[in-house]
Amino acid sequence: MPLSSILSESIIGIAAIIVAAALAGTFFSNMSQMTYVQKLQLKLIEEEAYHRCRIIYVAGEAGSSSLSIWVKNVGRAQINLELLDRSDLMVIGDNAHYLAYGGSWSYSLLNDVDSDGRWDPGETIRIDVTMDEPMRRGDYEAIIALYNGIECRRQFSL
């Protein structure tokens, strides 16, 4: 075998090894990024499992501008009531009403079992709502979005 063909094959072999190493580096870099994305998604799912609420009852009367909403913490973690001020409340019927905390609604912790001032799993709050105008007969939906984006919804009729 001539020396030039051995040299050519060696150069091609070295180039193949360099290309394989570059592809492997890219593959492992992408795997690292995918692992990071999966960890973020798992953390979001975990957040949803820990912080959940359920509207258990809505009371109001047609012709009244007052509404009471009972909400239970059905998650696995406590919710600091100071953070509840950052939550959003909407009442949707013929029109959508976004209600700001303090002016249009307030809450009270009904059964603080351990008297710690936090909304623990299994405990219930009552949200007292004052609408801008009297509510008419019809179908409505109450939506509460907690400070971290977790929602609970309930349809009701007056």
Amino acid residing at 126: R
In what helix (H) or strand (E) does residue 99 lie, and over which residues does it extend?
strand 96-99
Question: 129: closest CA among 108, 151, 154, 153?
Answer: 108
Question: How far apart are the C-alpha atoms of 144 and 139, rounded to whole Å?
Answer: 17
* pLDDT confidence band for 140 (50 / 70 / 90): very high
pLDDT in tens, 75-129: 888 888 888 888 999 999 988 899 888 889 999 999 888 888 889 999 999 999 9
Sequence ranges of the domains in the chain: 1-50, 53-157
Instruction: Convert the pLDDT of each residue in 26-64 to its tens digit.
Output: 777 777 778 887 888 887 777 766 788 999 999 999 999
**pLDDT for the residue 66:** 94
pTM, two decimals, is 0.71
* pLDDT value for 137: 93
Residue 1 predicted with pLDDT over 70: no
Cα torsion 116, 117, 123, 124 to 10°: value is 160
Q: Would the pLDDT of 155 be above 80?
A: yes
Question: Which pLDDT belongs to residue 126?
Answer: 96
53-157 CATH pick, 2.20.25, 2.40.50, 1.10.3470, 2.60.40 = 2.60.40
Residue 93 and residue 140 in contact, taking contact as beta carbons nearer than 8 Å: yes
